[in-house]
Amino acid sequence: IAFNSARFLTSAARLDQCPEDTGREVAFAGRSNSGKSSAINAITRIGNLARTSKTPGRTQLINFFSLSTPGTRLVDLPGYGFARVSRNTQKQWEKHLGDYLAHRQSLVSMTLIMDLRHPLSEFDAMLIEWCEHHGLPMMLLLTKADKLKSNPARRQIESVRRDLEGIECIHHIQPFSALKGQGVEPARNHLSDWLLG
């Protein structure tokens, strides 16, 4: 799959605003500042693609990008864990995301972006539970790996693996660095496998 062919398609605030539910799409989730935009940019090699999702008014939306392989899409889910959103907004957001996960037929896998130094927030854990519940395969990108020296990085990755042992929906746990390009190629390969079915 040519990930650098990604083009902004549309934004959706609710399930009924999503593009037609055909073909195959993979979604990217992560708390804000986890490095999600940088990871999407590294994978697509398009410097400002995910910035589209950060333009004011779009940060709370589900953003869809089409790829040149017909019927395939990347989906940038809103970053969670904003310090300043109200409890109500948070609940609304969880409902929309829950609807999307539960009902979207074309969703074939979830990529969860976590800062290697701060993995498994409460919301990360909830997302993993949802994916396990719906049998949705996941890839975990443990990003900003370049910020740790190799031994602490390795220990941290092992600790995440241990914490998640036995969770069947998790297919790949990949150390990643948008800065150094670490993990980009394996991530692309897994995404291609899911998108091409």
| Interface residues toward ligand GDP, by CB under 6 A | 30, 32-38, 79, 143-144, 146-147, 177-179
Sorted by sequence, the CB contacts under 8 Å of residue 96 that are 6+ apart come out as 13, 14, 15, 62
Q: How far is the CB of 168 from ligand GDP (least distance, A)?
A: 26
Task: Count CA atoms within 13 Å of residue 88 on its CB side.
Answer: 0
Contact 127, 94 (CB under 8 A): no
CB of 55 to ligand GDP, least distance (A): 13
Nearer to ligand GDP, 157 or 178 (CB): 178
| d(C-alpha 61, C-alpha 107), whole Å | 17
Q: How far is the CB of 79 from ligand GDP (least distance, A)?
A: 5
Q: At its nearest, how many Å lie between ligand GDP and the CB of residue 71?
A: 26
Residue number, 11 or 37, with CB nearest to ligand GDP = 37
Report the nearest approach of ligand GDP to the CB of residue 110 (Å): 15
For CA atoms 127, 132, 135, 138, the dihedral sign is positive
Considering the complex, state which of residue 23 and residue 61 has its C-beta at the smaller distance from ligand GDP: 61
Nearer to ligand GDP, 35 or 119 (CB): 35
Count the neighbouring beta carbons within 10 Å of the beta carbon of residue 86. 9
Is 146 or 193 the residue whose CB approaches ligand GDP more closely? 146
Tokens of 110: 């979830």
